Amino acid sequence: MTTRTSAIEVSGPRRSYGAGGPGVGGSDGTTRQFTVQHDGVAIPVFRGGRGRPLVLCPGLNSTYADLHELIELLRRDHDVVTFDLRGHGLASAADRYSFEAFLSDLVAVMAELGRLDLPAPPVLAGYSLGADLAVHYASEHPGAVAELVLIDGANPVPEPFITEDVLAEFRSAWEDLATEQEAVRGTPRQVLLTAEETLALTMEIDVVRSRILDRYRKIDQPINMIMSASMAGGGEGHALRLNQNWRAGIERLVREQPHIATSWLDADHRLVFTHASEIAHIIRSAQRPADRAGSMITP
């Protein structure tokens, strides 16, 4: 195999932070934090910036601390609310890490925001697993969000990612990642899921994405997708198959939903860490109506 298939759901570059995290803030230099308690889990929520409300949902193995560069850029134009999913970052551990459990974290955060002073329904952005959660939330809560920004996730791929011939390699990749996580245990970048829990969730996401077209059909809000052209990295073999499957899924989606705007970045699945400025620019530009129609290719 020429590339690690763990690129499907992967955290950001390894950095060490103290207990206070990276200290990113909004354009006024402040970050407000509160905690949402639900399902026996404490979810830390962070808010900063000014402008149009935007909620950013992280993905599997990514935390608020990991996403600090993108968050800081978005806060120049948006009142950004983001959070750590259960078992990630400053959130507490949980006794279950299923797709529905993670979706309940997003639902709980959005319910709390409904009691705050947001001037309008927010843009809901999600990365990787977070994009899938955003689609499910929007399909179940009509009118709750103004639009969706889906970053390298929520892809109705025609074939599953984890097939029998790569199962052992996926398991090995998650075991390696769990070992690496020992170095950041107790910091805002920690992830508490075991390798088997991550593998089980990744397989569940395959099933979720096989049915996600039905979710898109229930959404009336504008949708802007920002996708990686080489989500599994370069090379041949499994990486080539995964990349082709990734593009085929989006082509399938746009054929059925031609109003969805799509941007492709010359990047792998780590695009939120390697191309944060481009992603922030696309989000900013997509909110002008003239930019929403059709499909946009970004080199």
Domain ranges (residues) in the chain: 29-297
Instruction: Measure the CA–CA gap between 293 and 238, rounded to whole angstroms.
Output: 33
The pLDDT value given to residue 22: 39
Residue 91 to residue 224: CA distance in whole angstroms: 28
Quick check: 236 pLDDT over 90?
no
Q: What is the pLDDT of residue 235?
A: 79
| Per-residue model confidence (pLDDT) at position 60 | 97
CB-based burial of residue 99 (10 Å sphere; 0-12 exposed, 13-18 middle, 19+ buried)? middle
pLDDT tens digit string along 148-178?
A: 999 999 999 999 988 888 888 889 988 999 9
- CB–CB of 239/2 below 8 Å? yes
Do residues 41 and 103 lie in contact, with contact meaning Cβ atoms separated by under 8 Å? Answer: no
Q: Which residues contact 182 (CB under 8 A, 6 or more apart)?
A: none
For 8-56, how does the pLDDT look when each residue is reduced to its tens digit (9 = 90+)?
333 333 322 233 333 334 345 589 999 999 999 999 999 999 999 999 9
pLDDT of 186 higher than 80? yes
CATH class, range 29-297: alpha beta
- Does the predicted model carry a pTM greater than 0.85? yes
Beta bridge partners of 48: 80
Q: What one-character DSSP code corresponds to residue 164?
A: T
How confident is residue 237, by pLDDT bands cut at 50, 70 and 90? confident
3-state DSSP call for residue 15? coil
Q: What is the DSSP track for 40-71?
A: TEEEEEEEEE-SEEEEEE--TT--TTTTHHHH
More confident call, 20 vs 82: 82
